[in-house]
Structure formats: structure tokens, C-alpha cells
Amino acid sequence: MARQRGKIFGDKIRYLRDERDLTQSALADKAGVSIMQIKNIEIGRNGTTKEVALAIASALQVPLAEIYIEDFRNTTIITMSNSKGGVGKTSSVLGLAHALSRLDDNKVLIVEADMQRNLSFGLGMPEDTERSLYAALMREDNFSCYIQPTGTDNLDIIIADYSLATVDFELSRKQYQETIFQRGMSEILEKGMYDYVVVDTSPNLGLLNFNILSISDYVIVPVELSAYGLQGLDTIFRYINKIKEVNHKLEILGVLKTKVDRREAVTDTADKTLEAVFDNVRIFDSYISIDTNVKKAQWSREHISDFDPRSRAAKQYMALAKEVVKYGR
């Protein structure tokens, strides 16, 4: 089912109504809508249709755009996080974001918060220190000024650069250091520019990751289905639970199994161990197999779904995206 779009500004309607000395009942009569609709809109209880918004705008004698944004998208922020490197996190961010952008006309923004910049490299994007996430953070600037198109419809990106290696130290010297990412994202969220923001993070559980998870709606934990991949997972879950103390909306959307090789018997052992350890956390039905086409796509600096849309990995990322839409708000 497509996500609801469009936003009416109840506080602005209330201000305009008061300015014109209109009661809620009088505005409802002039607009030809019920008084209950006016009450619900003004307290932000629910949205409305464009037709109702037009009627209210006409009654208030203001342009529709003053009280309603037709293409407003209720943004969901999803962060991919693990304190272990080499678990397929960056590939999963790109795969999920690309698949989401192909569902229901979703507009998706990738934020690359890993200094290795493998993601932007894989998209064929040059390094640009003036339009990078690091530059935006250091300037405490509006992130919307740093968005770049990826060349794929409905998919944009804010790229990283190698300067992110020192970002935690730099952030620690700033005032209100825990909210810099939130302030940078504010205009993107207020204008409803995207349906989804998908964030790639570094394994370092420092100040930047704290900033990111403090504004996120969901976190996905990618786990390599191997003996080494299952070690130390309690670290990332403790970190997430600490952040949930300040970001009460943050939820673990699920654990994503990556680099799965069903030909190996140990894979089943690792699978059962994962399920036993995380019996109270959703483990996605979807998983990402080892697929040589992913490496070929990376060398070609293409997304796997463009390089080979019939590949196993491309189909698995689409299955993951459908689960994310199903379980996300």
C-alpha cells in the first residue's frame, strides 16, 4: 500500500482563522466541510485530502500552498548500524535504498556517514569535500544544500569524504554537539522531501553515530552469518538501548543476515545460533546471499539492480525493502 502523502498545517489554519475572527463553526460553513474536520486538522489529529484543503484555503482567501503541501512525504529515517566492520553494511544500505526507491514512487535519500566512502564510490560519484556530510557538519549547515542526485530516479545522496575520520573529535569541540545532525536534517524533514532516509554508518560507536541514531526511527543490524560475525553483537545492542533512553521512538526494525552461503553446513548452525540469541528481536525473513554479481557491479560502479536486475542479490534486496515497508510505521 502506498504511503500517505500531503500535509495540511493546522496551526497556520488556526492562526488565519483567528486573524479573520472566524470560529471553527464559521470556517466549516464557509468551506463546506464538517466542524469535526476543522477541529481535527487544527489539533493535528489527522491529515486531509487536497479537495478539503482547497475548500479551506478558498474560505480563508489564501493560496493553497500557504496551508498545504501536496507532495509532502512523512519521512522515515532508517540507520544501518553494527560495531563490526565487513558485515555487508554499505552494500545493504545501497541495496535497500535502491529497492525502496522503486516501490510506490518513494523518494529516498542516502546519507553516507562512513569515511571509507565505498557507497558513493560504488555509485560512480567523485569525492567533493565542499558538498560532503563532513562539510555540512563542520559548518552546522542545512543538509538540503548538500544533496546530490545519484543518476537513479527518486534516489539522492549526501556523500562522505575521508575527513570523516576525525569527525568525532571535531564534533566534541562544538556546542550542542549531540544535536548537530538533527539540526542539519530539520529542513529536509519539515518540507517532507523524502519518504525514506537511509543512513550508512561507520563501525565506530562515537559521537556521529549517537547524533544519527538520536534522530532515527529505526535501526537495522546487519550480521554476517559466520562464527566471527556473531561475536560481540551485544555491544551494538547495548549501544542502541542506551540511545533509546533519549530517543524514545527508536526501534530495532530487525536483524539482517548477510553474506549467507547455503551450500555450507555451518551456515545452518550460525542461523540457529542467531535465532537462539535474539529470540526477542525480529530477524528478517529476507537475507542477502554471497553473490559474485555484487562484486562485479562494484567494479563497474553500478548498482546491482542496474548491473543485473535478475541477479539473486537484486531480488533479495527488493524482498528486504518490502519487509521494511511492511514492518515500518
Higher pLDDT, 294 or 179: 179
Handedness of CA 312, 314, 317, 318 (dihedral sign): negative
Least confident of 196-200, 261-265, 294-298, 317-321: 261-265
| pLDDT, position 222 | 94
CB 87, CB 222: distance < 8 Å: yes
- The span from the CA of 311 to the CA of 99, in Å, is 13
DSSP-assigned letter for residue 132: B
**Domain definitions of the chain by residue range:** 5-72, 75-327
Q: What is the CATH code of the structural domain delimited by 75-327? A: 3.40.50.300
- The span from the CA of 179 to the CA of 197, in Å, is 17
Q: What share of the chain has pLDDT > 70, as a percent?
A: 98
pLDDT digits (tens, 9 = 90+) for 239-296: 999 999 999 999 999 999 998 877 776 777 788 888 887 778 899 999 988 878 777 8
5-72: CATH superfamily: lambda repressor-like DNA-binding domains (1.10.260.40)
CB 223, CB 255: distance < 8 Å: yes
| pLDDT, position 2 | 54
